[in-house]
Amino acid sequence: MKTSVSKYISCMIASILFLTVSYTVSAQTNTLQNLGAKGALQDSSITLEKALTYALQDEYAAQARCDAVIQKFGAVKPFVRIKKAEQSHIETLLPLFKAYKVPVPKNQAANLTEAPVSLKAAFRVGIEKETDHISMYTKLLETPGIPADVQRAMTTIRHASLNHLAAFQAGLSRSE
């Protein structure tokens, strides 16, 4: 009897641990999919608050990716320059949060970002993420009711992203 109860308790503990780990992994994946460009591109009901939030989250993520690459591979071009540009984009967006009384999202990007395994992979990720970034801003700019100052900021940032995309493509070409 004692052995049966012991086995039962062990199975229950194992089940609870499994469910806890599964929920945590699922919640993290869900969170990652709902942030920045990924979230915006999946969202069918964008509001001004969501548009600003997605944009800032994606700028945070871009900056964190550059940080991770720089920490792992050193001051590699164009990552150093793009990291500075991402900070400029963040500084462009923040006053809009204040102007429209939108809560500024917490910057979680550093906790959710890992350095790619190689510099070549970093360029590939940069290309993928800038492509998503450009698509996100294109979608956000089509949102009805977006104020003119928000449109100007997002148009400027989207244009800069086209330059970032070209820089990552050139970097990938050089690394092959």
> 112-163, pLDDT tens digit by residue?
888 899 999 999 999 999 999 999 999 999 999 999 999 999 999 999 999 9
The dihedrals phi and psi of 106, each to the nearest 5 degrees, come to -65, 140
Which pLDDT value is given to residue 4?
55
As a whole number of angstroms, the distance between CA 57 and CA 36 comes to 5
Q: Is residue 127 located within the same domain as residue 47?
A: yes
Q: Is residue 2 located within the same domain as residue 56?
A: no
Which pLDDT value is given to residue 112?
87
Q: Is residue 155 located within the same domain as residue 170?
A: yes
- Predicted TM-score of the model (pTM): 0.80
128, 159 Cβ separation under 8 angstroms:
no
pLDDT value at 15 more than 80: no
Q: Is residue 18 located within the same domain as residue 57?
A: no
Q: Is residue 89 located within the same domain as residue 67?
A: yes
Q: Is residue 26 located within the same domain as residue 44?
A: no
Burial of 142 (0-12, 13-18, 19+ CB in 10 A): exposed
Residue-number span of the structural domain to which 22 is assigned: 1-33
Q: Is residue 4 located within the same domain as residue 65?
A: no
Calculate the CA dihedral of residues 80, 169, 38, 76 and round it to 10 degrees. -20
> Which CATH number is 67's domain given?
1.20.1260.10
- HSE (side-chain half, CA atoms, 13 Å) at 98: 6
Burial of 137 (0-12, 13-18, 19+ CB in 10 A): buried
Q: Is residue 26 located within the same domain as residue 62?
A: no
User: CB count, 10 Å around CB of 70?
Assistant: 16
Q: Is residue 169 located within the same domain as residue 85?
A: yes
Number of domains, the chain? 2
When the pLDDT of each residue in the chain is averaged and rounded to a whole number, the result is: 85
Q: Is residue 16 located within the same domain as residue 63?
A: no
Mean pLDDT calculated for residue range 94-105: 97
Q: Is residue 92 located within the same domain as residue 27?
A: no
Q: Is residue 62 located within the same domain as residue 107?
A: yes
pLDDT tens digits, 31-71 = 456 889 999 999 999 999 999 999 999 999 999 999 999 99
